[in-house]
Amino acid sequence: MFEAVELGQKVSKEEFDEALTDLRTRLIQAQTAFAKYPGPLIIILNGMDGAGKGELMNYLGGLMDLRNIIIKTFWQENEAEKNKPFYWRYWMSLPYRGHIGFFFGAWYAGEMLEAAKGNTSTAEYERRMKRAATFESMLADDGAVFVKFWFHLSRKTSKKKTDDLKKKFGKGEILERAMWHREKYDAIVKAAERGIRLTDHSKARWHLIEADDKRHRTLKALRIIVETLEAAVASIGAKQKTDKKTVSLAPPVLSKVDLSLTAEYEEYKKRLPEMQERLNSLAWKAYEKKRSTIAVFEGWDAAGKGSAIRRIVQGTDIRLASVISIAAPTDEEKAHHYLWRFWRHIPSAGFITVYDRSWYGRVLVERVEKFAAENEWSRSFEEINDFEEHLTESGIILVKFWVHIDMEEQLKRFKERENLPWKQYKITDEDWRNREKWDMYEQAANETITRTSTGHAPWNLIAGNDKKYARLKILETMCRAMEEKL
Amino acid sequence: MFEAVELGQKVSKEEFDEALTDLRTRLIQAQTAFAKYPGPLIIILNGMDGAGKGELMNYLGGLMDLRNIIIKTFWQENEAEKNKPFYWRYWMSLPYRGHIGFFFGAWYAGEMLEAAKGNTSTAEYERRMKRAATFESMLADDGAVFVKFWFHLSRKTSKKKTDDLKKKFGKGEILERAMWHREKYDAIVKAAERGIRLTDHSKARWHLIEADDKRHRTLKALRIIVETLEAAVASIGAKQKTDKKTVSLAPPVLSKVDLSLTAEYEEYKKRLPEMQERLNSLAWKAYEKKRSTIAVFEGWDAAGKGSAIRRIVQGTDIRLASVISIAAPTDEEKAHHYLWRFWRHIPSAGFITVYDRSWYGRVLVERVEKFAAENEWSRSFEEINDFEEHLTESGIILVKFWVHIDMEEQLKRFKERENLPWKQYKITDEDWRNREKWDMYEQAANETITRTSTGHAPWNLIAGNDKKYARLKILETMCRAMEEKL
């Protein structure tokens, strides 16, 4: 693959200066107009050691408006990052819509290096590269534009560069690093080629750039960036293509929940504190083992999610457990992919986080209320499954609850809420409106549960008509899930 | 002081239940209405070991709407926090306006314990307590409401509690901790009394609560919270009292800047790369020593801030330096004290952050354009001085630049920007409008520079009419500041 960029291409100073006069103006104008683009531009700078990536960045920095730019080098993983899933740091670095991010190495450099060292099996490398491509596709579906650069140095130039360094330094860290890369030239080229092939897809193309000549590589990269920006700007306001309507006939999983299940008061009184103590011990054990737990609660309004969550939190040391209630996204959150705000709150290793509603809002309320277009929510099933796989793979214990009640029980509880002064805050007009759309919500719920009940993150359907039964069942399920993994 | 809360107060179950019926409704109603309050409610839970703070929290959690509540225990300082100024974690934990935060121990518990152990000198303890009070005052000025609880246990009850623990556990960590607190009873009481006295001020009052009887302490705390919430809610919409107009006749510091200073092209060509290399070495040295550097740039539009910043960034390893350009605050930022968004971006130890405009916007553009009321911006001088003291005390090297030009030079540059296609993005109608208010900006600048040029963070006034001179001077100043501290 890299033969194509060993052509000895060179650019003279005159050519360069002439091209620049035009390009710098187009660049800054396109960047200014791009501020209105409904997605970020992510420029990935990758390539051989010494190929001039940093130099290029400095040069571009001199031409561009630094105000909407993020530059990330990812060269050091800090403690907080080590305690989170691998992609967390990349999520947290993503630029806002209309902004530009320059990512050095991004999610590639480390993986390619490990592969070049022979530390990653062929299958594992392929899996990780596919995951990178999936990540990019997901962001691209949400509007992100990608430019992925690979700066290639011929063996000859690579050799010459290290010779120059040797003369300059004689010894030292920089030289050692360069020598290592020179020795591993073939292995690095091989790993990079394979990685590039596995991750070159229509939503995020690689651009191979011959990097031996500084003016050539600078001009080439500049042209690609300018043209990408201009193309994006030209498409602002164009109608997004809408996927065809999907037909979904989900099995009626909710109707199979046995709502007649109950627990006796005596049993409840006895077992609740027992289970809470068990959960508390598990919480400490998880803390010691640095395993996080995420419990997700979805279900009908008034199904008893809130009171079940209270039983969990009350039973657990306040230092170890916290609750996140999902409200409307803030403007910072809206300026990112919808999963961003959930990545944002991923707990550090060892803690319990309970979600009162969650990322499933995308395929439930946002679907039914049409806040998300069909092509948006329908692709979210895969995105959510991927997201949860990231969580569980990083060692997080994920427990998902759907608390189910029937319409009659809901009506009873709504009325009770209206009558008890300290419960009135829980009932709003919106609850009554949602109730009228019961069938649509049920259909959405059935499809959601069917599509997102995966091996690594199955749904637990909880019969909620009897609150005592539901609470015991939830605590029991949560304890079991934790015991299994600890 | 604590004798006042050793009265043996008790509440019977009947009294408790009766009071609760009324209070729980008022609590939830007041909490719901508080969502519109223009500041957060911060409830600090402090007190003797075993006084039931966690128990109270669990109880309150059962009565309140958990959705607008943050509970923070601050029991563990993570790596990220250790690499930031002491108050960073508290800033980052602050609830939004209209939300409620329960802070266990908050900025007190650790300090009081150290004082009780005799690890803090009397003067140092006083200084830290004063700093806590200043922090609270500042937030209160911005709308925050405080309730600070100290739960007091009599020596007798404290003794009984540990005896009970001894019977229950025989040995172990919890018992050891309790025994330690029992032995140190007098020292803890003494440190707490002093700390409370030093930090009890009208904007954030302490409430001492006799904690021997569970129902008494619960009811007491509940009442105080309900009444505080109700008082806050009652004041929503009330006109804020505006401080009297301040008269400020700042000395004309800017007019003393010698704008005739220039640098020759040859000198510039030679010294710029030298200085950049020097800065780069210093950046690496600072990285090794884990010392952060913050460079702040303020000055007239077109004064050359941006191009000076480019010279800094270009000269420094891209992994070590980053630029933050201050734009309009996001809604998450607006939901906090205006300094929150600057605390948010404080670099981890070892890195350089360059601010293109900064927290000084509060006393410059926000003042002149009347985005901030006079009582808001006028108190910001002290707030900013405090903020910068936090930074420098934590080891951050802070360098502040005011880049000065005269009106004539600005006009020349504005016109040049309009004529060069790749500079047009830099000139907007707003720049022309600001220019018309030159005198008001100059007055604000003179006052700002005078009031915020402190021993720990002096201003560097840079003559900017000659760009070459300004850039060399800035790089030189920055290198010197770093050399001095490294």
Q: What is the pLDDT of residues B265-287, one digit of tens each?
A: 999 999 999 999 999 999 999 99
Q: What is the pLDDT of residues B47-70, one digit of tens each?
A: 999 899 999 998 998 899 888 899
Model pLDDT, residue A426: 86
Q: Is B132 helix (H, G, I), strand (E, B) or coil?
A: helix
Share of chain A above pLDDT 90, in %: 77
Q: What is the 3-state secondary structure (H, E, C) of chain A?
A: CHHHHCCCCCCCHHHHHHHHHHHHHHHHHHHHHHCCCCCCEEEEEEECCCCCHHHHHHHHHHHCCHHHEEEECCCCCCHHHHCCCCCHHHHHHCCCCCCEEEEECCCCHHHHHHHHCCCCCHHHHHHHHHHHHHHHHHHHHCCCEEEEEEEECCHHHHHHHHHHHHHHHCCCHHHHHHHHHHHCHHHHHHHHHHHHHHHCECCECEEEEECCCHHHHHHHHHHHHHHHHHHHHHCCCCCCCCCCCCCCCCCCHHHHCCCCCCCCHHHHHHHHHHHHHHHHHHHHHHHHCCCCEEEEEEECCCCCHHHHHHHHHHHCCCCCEEEEECCCCCHHHHCCCCCHHHHCCCCCCCCEEEEECCHHHHHCHHHHCCCCCHHHHHHHHHHHHHHHHHHHHCCCEEEEEEEECCHHHHHHHHHHHHHCHHHHHHCCHHHHHHHHCHHHHHHHHHHHHHHHCCCCCCEEEEECCCHHHHHHHHHHHHHHHHHHHC
CATH superfamily of B2-234: P-loop containing nucleotide triphosphate hydrolases (3.40.50.300)
Q: What is the pLDDT of residues B57-116, one digit of tens each?
A: 989 988 998 888 999 988 877 777 878 899 999 999 999 999 999 999 999 999 999 999
CA B366, B367, B368, B374 dihedral sign is: positive
User: B66: which chain A residues are within 8 Å (Cβ-Cβ)?
Assistant: 306, 309-310, 323, 325, 356
The residue of chain B nearest to residue A320, with distances taken between CA atoms, is: B73
CA atoms of A435 and A417, how far apart (whole Å) = 15
Average pLDDT, chain B: 92
Model pLDDT, residue A245: 61
Model pLDDT, residue A80: 75
Model pLDDT, residue A345: 86
| Mutant choice from A319, A320, A340, A341 vs B, greatest count of B C-beta within 10 A | A319
Model pLDDT, residue A328: 85
Model pLDDT, residue B41: 98
Q: A35-44, A255-264, A325-334, B168-177: which range is least confident on average?
A: B168-177
Locate the domains of chain B by residue range.
2-234, 253-485
- pLDDT value at A485 more than 60: yes
CA-closest candidate to residue A459, choices A400, A385, A403: A400
Is residue B381 within 8 A of residue B452, CB to CB? The reply is yes
First to last CA, chain B: 47
Is residue A91 within 8 A of residue A106, CB to CB? The reply is no
Mean pLDDT for the stretch of residues B350-375 = 93
Amino acid in the structure at residue A180: W
CB contact under 8 A, A330 and B327: no
Amino acid in the structure at residue B401: F
ipTM: 0.83
User: A63: which chain B residues are within 8 Å (Cβ-Cβ)?
Assistant: 422
Q: Compute how many other C-beta atoms are within 10 angstroms of the C-beta atom of residue B330.
A: 15
The residue of chain A nearest to residue B72, with distances taken between CA atoms, is: A319
CA atoms of A351 and A322, how far apart (whole Å) = 8
Distance from B455 to chain A by nearest Cα, in Å?
A: 31
pLDDT band at A472 (very low <50, low <70, confident <90, very high): very high
Is residue B150 within 8 A of residue B199, CB to CB? The reply is no
Strand segments (E) across B244-292: none
Q: Compute how many other C-beta atoms are within 10 angstroms of the C-beta atom of residue B322.
A: 19
Tokens coding A247? 């037909």
CB contact under 8 A, B104 and A318: yes
The residue of chain B nearest to residue A82, with distances taken between CA atoms, is: B79
Mean pLDDT for the stretch of residues A84-105 = 94
B2-234 and B253-485, same CATH topology? yes
Which residues are bridge partners to A146 per DSSP?
A42
CA A467, A469, A475, A480 dihedral sign is: negative
User: A67: which chain B residues are within 8 Å (Cβ-Cβ)?
Assistant: 325, 327, 356
- pLDDT value at A12 more than 90: yes
pLDDT band at B241 (very low <50, low <70, confident <90, very high): low
Q: Compute how many other C-beta atoms are within 10 angstroms of the C-beta atom of residue A481.
A: 19
Model pLDDT, residue B417: 92
pLDDT band at B298 (very low <50, low <70, confident <90, very high): very high
| Mutant choice from B66, B292, B316 vs A, greatest count of A C-beta within 10 A | B66
Model pLDDT, residue B246: 60
CA atoms of B145 and B132, how far apart (whole Å) = 15
CATH topology for B253-485 is Rossmann fold (3.40.50)
First to last CA, chain A: 47
pLDDT band at A252 (very low <50, low <70, confident <90, very high): confident
pLDDT band at A314 (very low <50, low <70, confident <90, very high): confident
Q: Is B256 helix (H, G, I), strand (E, B) or coil?
A: helix
User: B318: which chain A residues are within 8 Å (Cβ-Cβ)?
Assistant: 54, 57-58, 71, 73, 104
- pLDDT value at B400 more than 90: yes
DSSP secondary structure letter of residue B153: -
CA atoms of A325 and B71, how far apart (whole Å) = 13
CA atoms of A13 and B403, how far apart (whole Å) = 34
CB contact under 8 A, A309 and B66: yes
The residue of chain B nearest to residue A332, with distances taken between CA atoms, is: B330
Is residue A405 within 8 A of residue A465, CB to CB? The reply is yes
